[in-house]
Amino acid sequence: MASVRVVKVGGVDYLQVVEYVRLPNGKYKVDVIKSFGKNNLENRMKAEQFAAEYDRLKNLAKGYASAPKKDQDFLQTALAVFGIVLGAAVVIAILKEIFGE
């Protein structure tokens, strides 16, 4: 699940959307999905929207991957719907992770 975190660098707070990934040894690592610059209201809203859409696409893709009928248009549809907020590279990375392509 993606979440927004604040990282302090040189006394300045910056926003990142991250995903905490559990490793086989039981520890966690942090994958930074995207950085949003200084912590202000506009960037906070953008980061929160990005995290929500990221999770929504992952959940849709997981459900679609387990569905009995496969539709080749899923990538194009996902890019059209989620590409504006997430960007094409993030959409493709999510789908590769889930569909293993």
Instruction: Return d(Cα 26, Cα 97) in angstroms, integer.
Output: 21
Specify the pLDDT at position 29. 95
What per-residue string of b and e applies to 16-29 under the rule 16 or more CB within 10 Å gives b?
bbbbeeeeeeeeee
Q: Is 0.75 topped by the overall pTM?
A: yes
Structural domain for 21, as ranges: 2-99
CB 37 within 8 A of CB 14: yes
Pairing of strands 12-22, 2-9: antiparallel
Q: How confident is the model at residue 40 (pLDDT cuts 50, 70, 90)?
A: very high
pLDDT value of residue 80: 87
Model pLDDT for residues 48-85, shown as the tens digit of each residue: 999 999 999 999 888 888 776 656 577 778 888 898 89
- Does 32 or 74 have the greater pLDDT score? 32
Residue 46 token pair: 């953008």
Q: What CA–CA distances, in Å, run from 75 to 26, 70, 96? A: 33, 11, 10
Number of structural domains the chain divides into:
1
Q: Which of 14, 13, 34 is nearest to 90 (CA)?
A: 34
